Amino acid sequence: MTEGAGGLVVERITHAYREPGSRRSPRRERLRTVLNGVSLSVAPGTLTAILGPSGCGKSTLLRILAGLEQPASGTATVDGESLIGRPGGVAYHPQQDALLPWLSALDNATLGAETCGEDRAGARERARALLGRFGLDDVERAWPDELSGGMRQRVALLRSTLMPQSCLVLDEPLGALDALTRRQLQFWLLDITASDRRPTLLVTHDIEEALLLADRVLVLSPSPAEIVHVEDRPGPAARRREREDGADHVAARRVLAALETGTREGRA
Ligand SMILES: Nc1ncnc2c1ncn2[C@@H]1O[C@H](COP(=O)(O)OP(=O)(O)OP(=O)(O)O)[C@@H](O)[C@H]1O
């Protein structure tokens, strides 16, 4: 699946966690394989979504790309530079919004960029230029606990977007939202990601969300996870139309079949 050295290239990533021994043999730890030779590539300016059953290893894969876990084997590069064991190689958006309660919305938004070495004034200027686009014009000075769930998600997404790394990795950025807010934010996120030239990898549980946002959807099997289905999608404008017209159900059925069977035979 390699498409050249540019963008994000993941090759044969395998990972296992140590499991504690049983009560009868507490010292006998076991290794449990979670990811089994996962390979994928994401070209610059495109978004790939990953779907898979709960616990199959999606977040583990993203944490490996973020340099927070060391895989047993395999490689991952962005523009040819290795990500393995190197925290900070990608702009990583964790599952929880992780806003700091003692910082304003604006200061939370600039935190990632500042942590990566950008000076405060420059980061604030870039953030202020995007506040309107992120629907945060009026909440620049608000504290996180004064924000709605959707606003918190947008502040966290602005923080990830402002990070300077040349690859974006998003772990369920719209999780834990009510259906209406989530649908609105999905269309908004389509505009945001479609104009971001970085290769972007997105983990989601929502099939419609994946089909709307992604140029390619990958389905993982239950753990030990392998890619069992690849769904290539049309461009962003066609995806938006499909979703608005409810015409994405054919692709959704194929993806659901792969999720349900968890095997390559699930492919229609
Ligand atoms: N630090 C760890 N030590 C041991 N096992 C772990 C660790 N982190 C995750 N696991 C296990 O690895 C498996 C994969 O976890 P992971 O969080 O990657 O799954 P996921 O696909 O992202 O799940 P979900 O969709 O529910 O968020 C799970 O069985 C989990 O319990």
Q: How many whole angstroms from 60 Cα to the centroid of ligand 1?
A: 6
For the chain, list residues with pLDDT below 70: 1-5, 22, 26, 265-268
- C-alpha of 202 from chain center: 3
Q: How many whole angstroms from 55 Cα to the centroid of ligand 1?
A: 5
Q: How many whole angstroms from 64 Cα to the centroid of ligand 1?
A: 12
Task: Give 170's contacts (C-beta < 8 A, 6+ positions apart).
Answer: 93, 157, 160, 200, 201, 202, 203
Closest CA to 57 of 71, 43, 47: 71
CA-closest residue to ligand 1 atom 2: 17
pLDDT, position 265? 58
CA-closest residue to ligand 1 atom 29: 55
Under a CB-based contact definition with an 8 Å cutoff, are residues 11 and 40 in contact?
Answer: no
pLDDT, position 268? 39
* The one-letter amino acid at 186: Q
* The one-letter amino acid at 53: P
pLDDT, position 189? 87
- For ligand 1, what atom is nearest to the CA of residue 61? 18
Q: How many whole angstroms from 11 Cα to the centroid of ligand 1?
A: 20
Here the ipTM equals 0.97
How many beta carbons lie within 10 A of that of residue 23, not counting itself?
Answer: 6
pLDDT, position 31? 86
- For ligand 1, what atom is nearest to the CA of residue 63? 18
Q: In what order do the strands lie in the sheet with 168-171?
A: 91-93, 168-171, 200-203, 47-51, 216-220, 227-232
- The model's pLDDT over 116-140, given as tens digits with 9 standing for 90+, comes to 999 999 999 999 998 988 888 889 8
Q: How many whole angstroms from 223 Cα to the centroid of ligand 1?
A: 9
Residues with CB under 6 A from ligand 1: 17, 34, 52, 54-60, 223
- C-alpha of 171 from chain center: 4
pLDDT, position 175? 83
Closest CA to 200 of 188, 214, 212: 214
Question: pTM for this one?
Answer: 0.91
CA-closest residue to ligand 1 atom 24: 54
CA-closest residue to ligand 1 atom 23: 55
State the residue for tokens 């900070």.
Answer: 88
- For ligand 1, what atom is nearest to the CA of residue 60? 18
pLDDT, position 5? 57
Q: How many whole angstroms from 90 Cα to the centroid of ligand 1?
A: 20
Question: Quick check: bond before 144 cis, omega within 30?
Answer: no
